[in-house]
Structures are given as C-alpha cells and as structure tokens.
Structure 1
C-alpha cells in the first residue's frame, strides 16, 4: 500500500514539473526578445562620433617653410627663381618662333609678288625680322660709297649686310637658351646641396639628442628629399624646353636664311638692270 502511494506521489510530481517548464520557457523567451530589441536600439539612439581632426604633416613643404633654417630657405628661393625664369623664357620664345613662322609663310606668299621692293617692304610688319633684313639689304644696295668701302664690290657688300642682319635675327632668337641650359645643368646639383644639408642637420640632431629617434631624423631627412625632388622638377622642364626651342629655331632660321638669299638675288638683279 505504501509503495502504491509513493508511485502516485511521484507521478503527480513529474506531471507538475512538465506543466511548469513550458511556462518558464515562455517567460524566458519574451525576456530574451526584449533584451535583443534593447541591444538593437542602443546603437541607433547613440550619438554620432565626432569627425577626426585633420592631422598636419610636420615634415612637408609647408613645415619646411615655417621651421626651416636660412640655408634650406635660400636653396628653395634659388630653385623658385630658376623655375620662374625658365618658364618665362620658354613661353616667350615659343611665342616668338610661332610669330616668325607665321610671318615667314606670309612673306613667301606676298613679298616677292609686289611691283617693287619699296612696296614689298611697306607690306611687312613694323619691327618684324623680315622687314629688318629687307631694309638692311636695300640700304646697303643703295649706299655703297665711301673711302673705306670702295675696295669692296657691290655684291660682296650687299651679301655681308644681309648675312649680318640674318645673324642678328638668329642671335636675338636664341636669347635665353643659355639660361635654360644653365638651369637644366645646375638645378639638380642645387637640390642635391639641399639634400646634403638636410642629412647634415639630421646627423647633428642625432648627435645633440644622443639617440637616433625618428622625430629627430624624419624632419631633416624629409626636407632633404623635398629638395631633391624640387631640383629635378626645375631641371626637367628646362632641358626639355631647351631642346624644343633649339629645334624650332632651326626651322625658323631656315626660312629667314631663305628670305635673305632671295632678297640678295632680287637686289643683284635690280643692280644689273640699272646698269644696262
């Protein structure tokens, strides 16, 4: 009898346990869901982070201008002057060669079709190289007198005058090319001097500090590398511009010499006709 009573009590306890367990599970699920919703909502309600401030480069060109010594600033100023002079010469000489090339085409098309040399000269632009050569040749042809020139025949006198005028035009056209050549050959070494000076400053800072820390080395070495880059940046356009202008000058001067030779032939032909 007692054993049957124990079995009944055990059965009731097991049934009660099964009935309570789903209720606890249901209670835990809403709690877990509420905690998940709160976790998802927390980032949404959080204030946005402030944007990071821009970090200034302590080893760039701007820092070198602010904190560099007199030598580094002097090297930078020299390179800047060289660069500005190179670009000025390059632009102005390109304009001059372009203008002379256009004038050469117009002269070849119209000058020698005029009724006389005087009309041809009037058709040329004031201050142009072709008008200068034409006026010099005509003046030499018309004024061949004097005790010093009586032993020089008229042909040689006019030839020398035309050649001299052509040479002056060529000299004027080549002005500034020497500066470009100088900049192209010396600016890398000026930049290299800035590099050596920057490395010297780095070694001095290391010796004074007694330790090779990166903050003692990075600044001077950065300045040194900037100087090297600037020296090359100044030299490359100067060298390219020099070679380009030399080739353009050759083409333009070929037209100028051809005009001088044609003018000389016209002047000698007028002289022969006048003698008959």
Structure 2
C-alpha cells in the first residue's frame, strides 16, 4: 500500500500573509491514494483513513456501545479498511445526505455503509457495491395489540423512518393508516414501545434485534420486498467500488463473512 500527496505548483506571494495563504492552498490541493488489495490506486478523503458515512443508531448494523461504534456493517468495512492498510473512521450523518449522494460528493466520507437497500433511485445518486445482505420489511407492534397486517392499521398511526424503503412501502400499501415520520430508527422504536404510534415498519433485521431486548414488543408480519443492501461510493469511483467487491468476495470465500454474520444475528446466513 502506498500513500502519497499530490500538490499543484505555486508561485511566490508577495503579500504579508503569503505564508498562511500558501499553507491553506497546499492543504486544499492535497489528495491521498492507497493501492489496496486490487492493485489499483484508491483515492481516500484523508490519509490513513477509510471514512464511512452512516446514520446511528441502526442496530445490529451500526450503533454505539459505550464509547465505541459497533455492528455488522462496521465489522465488514473493517475488512475493507484492512485490505487497504488503513483504519476505518465512522461519520454519523443524517440518512438523507447519504442516500442522495450529497455526503459522498462533498467528500464527507469515502463510502456509505448504513444498512442501505439498493434501489433504482439511489442508484442514480451513487454507485453500489455487490449486495452483502438480504432484507425485507416487517411490522413492529406492542405485544398483544393484534395488528397482524397493514390492513389492521386503518385509522391508526404507523411510524416510519424518513427516506427509507419502509416509508415508501407504507405509502403504497398501508391504505387508511396515518404515517408518522421519524428521523432515525431509535425514535421510531421508542414511539412504538411507548404507544406514540400503534405500529412501526422497518427492515426485519433491526426489528428482530430490537424485540430480543424488548419482549413487550413483537414482529407480527413480514412483507416480501426482496431488498438487498449495498455499500455506496461516489458515482464514478470505480477503484474503491471494485476494492469493496473484492474484499467482500474474499471474506465470503474464507469464512470471515459467515463468522461476522453469526456474531450479530446468532446464525450463519442461508445460501
């Protein structure tokens, strides 16, 4: 792995503040590259770091545990960072900026790993790696409420997380329900648990993880949406996208992917 900085030529400045201006110019023009496991230069936002945009909390994919940020996605991106001989640094940012591609375009991060479903709309905003996880939408309710389908929620409040596939599914299929939007998953889950809403819709992986720790809630339905998660990169960043695919393929082949999957979901993935 090689890391180097490229600087543009400069001309001497005669103003009194020339020295400060020169430092600013050099910092702004610097870039870092890592050869990585693909043998192709991968441009990184910061030297020695692989910056990951995500939106917390989204357990078990990424969430805070004490002073650390841990999770399934975190462990997978650590494998990519290791192949690039750098360290992962997580940037917590609103999901809208992730799925729109704005954070990647603004060099806020190198990649986005946020339990993010590959969709045609998102695919126009950023480029995705090969899929690394299969998901579907599910319904979370307070135990014993008897809401077993979206049709049971007519006239009721259905919590959704903004800018997610769950929100889109609810808009299309929860006829007669009043959708209540929440900025993040944590607020949505709390709203279901405390009765602010009658039910919540989100990805099955995070809801099943929640009910394990909150037995007064339950998942009563799943909806076959056939979703697949992908790691996002800035449009056109083929070198990093190919490196991600290579790292994920290697991890699946040598058993590390299965080990990480079992760590966070209690079982190995079905093939």
TM-score (norm 1): 0.19
Structure with bigger helix share is: 1
TM-score (norm 2): 0.19
> Which structure has more RCO (C-alpha within 8 Å, separation ≥ 6)?
1
Structure with bigger strand share is: 2
